[in-house]
Structure 1
Amino acid sequence: MAATPSVTELRRARFARRLPSELSELHGPAHGTVSLPLHLAWSGLTEFDLDQPRLRMSCYRILLAEGQHDDLVHYLNRERLIGMWPVLRTLISRDIRDVWECAFDELAPDAQAVA
């Protein structure tokens, strides 16, 4: 009889299914205002000025937690994500962080120390 997956395993699998194949797929805006649809930003702000670091961080936290694959590639920006990752990784759940860092070498803690 197969073991029942843990809640953590189920969450991580759900986040992993949403990932792009590679970070180069992330073609979202680097500047300006982004309006997130209600299926993402269902509680609180829906518009985020990406030129304001706190709003950009909030936007990315929402996207990583709630975004489906198409949302991630549409709204996330590769360079912004990599640049923000050392702080952003401390503000998201361990499950999200581990899934992204295991999938993308550019986000692994070792890569951040070298950059």
Structure 2
Amino acid sequence: MDSLSSPISRAAVLEERYRGRLPRSLDDLTGPDHGTVQLPLHVAWSGLTTFEVDRPPLCASMYHIVLTEGLREDLIAYINRELLVKQWPVLRTILSSPIRSVWESAFPELNDGRPTGS
């Protein structure tokens, strides 16, 4: 078997998928910083779909869903840069490894205040 036909790992496929959805900059993330957000069905297709951004646990839950299921346009519309940075220490513990890896490598500022390698 030559290198062109060798299997690609599931993690590599997922990382490429999530990398393709990234905003150009965290500054592009202009989602709401307070209030109630109703996610569309193509993002929140099961379970809770309405979130109070002012409540940190609900905000983290919404961001988890949007980061996992959302397209680039959804990330920009529903995630707020400041709240993402504030929520990141919690989010990074509940996100899958491919999502966490893609976001932290693209946006090193998410790692500010956290020792590398943790």
**Bin of the TM-score, shorter chain as denominator length:** over 0.9
1:28 aligned residue: 31
Aligned residues: 112
Q: State the AA in 2 paired with 1:96.
A: I
- 3-state SS of paired residue (1:81): helix
Matches within 5 A, 1:8-19: 8-19=11-22
Q: State the AA in 1 paired with 2:37.
A: V
Mapped partners of 2:79, 2:113: distance in 1: 19
Q: Please report how far the alpha carbon of residue 51 of structure 1 lies from its aligned counterpart in structure 2 after TM superposition.
A: 0.9
- Shift >3 Å, 4+ stretches: none
Q: State the AA in 2 paired with 1:113.
A: R
2:53 aligned residue: 50
Using the size of structure 1 for normalisation, the TM-score is 0.93
Q: State the AA in 2 paired with 1:17.
A: G
Q: Please report how far the alpha carbon of residue 105 of structure 1 lies from its aligned counterpart in structure 2 after TM superposition.
A: 1.2
Q: Could you tell me the percent identity over the aligned residues?
A: 50
Using the size of structure 2 for normalisation, the TM-score is 0.91
- Considering only CA atoms, is the larger Rg found in Structure 1 or Structure 2? 2
Mapped partners of 1:81, 1:32: distance in 2: 15
Alignment gaps of 5+ in structure 2: none
Aligned CA-pair RMSD = 1.1
Deviates more, 1:23-32 or 1:51-60: 51-60
1:101 aligned residue: 104
